[in-house]
Amino acid sequence: QALREIYSGLKLGAVFAVVGAVVAEFIVSSSGLGYMIVMYTGQFDTPLVFAALTVLTVIGIGAFYLIVLLERVTIPWYKAITS
């Protein structure tokens, strides 16, 4: 039962790690997607801001579903119980 709790935390942590990395790039970086968002926002280049946000969304969703896949591989009986 503890594995379910651990994987729940890992799923949240993976998404928050992406958000944390981008916020750090907002503040101190001179490259990366966070820097691009800040730079293009200042230049009013909306399509590039949304492109960077789309890439970040895909990375966050990909990290989440990677943990889901790992969860299904390591505790396959959990899905059988909940279905």
- Under a CB-based contact definition with an 8 Å cutoff, are residues 58 and 1 in contact? no
> What is the value of pTM for the model shown?
0.82
- Residue 73 vs residues 3, 62, 67: alpha-carbon distances, Å: 12, 16, 10
Query: Residue 63 has which token pair?
Result: 């990290």
Per-residue pLDDT tens listing for the chain (83 residues): 788 899 999 999 999 999 999 999 999 988 899 999 999 999 999 999 999 999 999 999 999 999 999 998 998 787 656 55
Q: How far apart are CA 73 and CA 18, in angstroms?
A: 23
